Amino acid sequence: MAEQNAMVCNELRCGGILVSKLITLGKTSAGKEFATARLTLEVGENQRIEVETFSMRNTSSGAESKIYQNLMTIHQEYKSLDSQFVDRRGKKDAQPVKHEATTVASKEECDFVYANKGIKLTNNRYVNANGELVTSFRLSTNFVNRAKESQSREPFIEGVLVGVCEKDAERMLNNEGDVVGLKLSLLVPEFRKGYTNAFGEEVADSVVVERFELVLRELDGLDYCEEIFLQNKVCSVSIEPTNKVEQDVPKEQPKQRGFGKMITFEPTTKIVREIRIVGGFDLEDDEYENDANFNFDLFQEGVKALDEKIEELKSGQGKQVEVSRGFGRNNNGGGSKNTGLPF
């Protein structure tokens, strides 16, 4: 197969106050050491996002991995309100303990952390106690860094997904029948170049596909989105993953009726966790028709493999800055219309 280019179809960046961290050391069944980090960043008002990273201790050459070294720096130096550490290399059921040296008492003392490259959106799927399939997004990356003195400490999170609309975007209605948004199912590909494995076997090129459920809340862009987010269209979508506390505020306060004291209740709160659309446009044919991510056969195989994994899980067999185009904000992500690719 001729050499093909493959655009980055899943890319995010964020910066926020490090409010908590959990560093875990472990060993594989083959005895190889690794480390993971789960970092909680405050990326906006009432909004916290978890970022996860993983690294084997040693590279294939035997040298200690730079990513692993970065994880050890996070463990030993990065300050948060809740710093925890657990070493499961010798005892798999070991419990996390507080890391006193990097635990601080206020947000002002916490480190501000950037994840500016290599950060991806992924999905975590599991079947709950009621037998229902639950899907929630995750962020994963290889590197995070503390803010330098010269850098802004303004929290943010943004990204770009490029993929195929699985079906026409659908309007979302509230109980009164009012339009409150638009939802879109986007199939996002990632090309994997073939290689020769350790046994001398040839592993073919492939495309791994993930399905993301996106939501448009800014109704000013609704009409435009309905025109471009159509089944089989290839689109670039600017996104902001959201995990925040919001209040359910009643439309009107109750009027005085009858006599005496009126009893009212405070607005309830809810956790809103969704991937919000903040901009987007459809791609022209020549922007993706020769891109390896959108090779028709490999893409179809990727979708089939994804659906098979989901079915296995449900049945109990599985394990758990560019020129402004379109509408809204462009989040300077990767990405390069519907063509002869009959997705």
Where exactly are the structural domains of the chain? Answer: 10-328
Q: How far apart are the C-alpha atoms of 117 and 141, rounded to whole Å?
A: 8
Say whether pLDDT at 287 is over 80: yes
pLDDT, tens only, 153-179: 999 999 999 999 999 999 999 999 999
Q: What was the pLDDT predicted at 35?
A: 97
Per-residue pLDDT band at 33 (split at 50, 70, 90): very high
Q: How far apart are the C-alpha atoms of 139 and 147, rounded to whole Å?
A: 19
Identify whether the C-beta of residue 335 lies closer than 8 Å to the C-beta of residue 326.
no
Per-residue pLDDT band at 32 (split at 50, 70, 90): very high
- Listed in sequence order, the DSSP H helices in the chain are 66-77, 222-228, 296-314
- Closest by CA to 27, choosing from 103, 71, 70, 91, is 91
Q: Which residues contact 246 (CB under 8 A, 6 or more apart)?
A: 46, 269, 270, 272
Say whether pLDDT at 247 is over 50: yes
Q: What are the distances in angstroms from CA 217 to CA 65, 164, 181, 183, 328?
A: 42, 20, 5, 9, 12
> What is the percentage of the chain residues whose pLDDT exceeds 70?
85
pLDDT, tens only, 111-129: 999 998 779 999 999 888 8
Q: What was the pLDDT predicted at 248?
A: 67
Parallel, antiparallel or unpaired: strands 179-192 and 97-98:
unpaired
| Residue ranges of E strands in the chain | 10-27, 33-44, 47-56, 82-87, 97-98, 112-127, 133-140, 145-146, 156-165, 170-173, 179-192, 195-196, 202-203, 206-216, 234-248, 268-282, 327-328
Say whether pLDDT at 243 is over 80: yes
Q: What was the pLDDT predicted at 130?
A: 86
Q: Which residue has the tokens 């050890």?
A: 72
Predicted TM-score of the model (pTM): 0.84
74 or 261: which leads in pLDDT: 74
Q: What is the dihedral of CA 326, 327, 331, 335, to 10 degrees?
A: -20
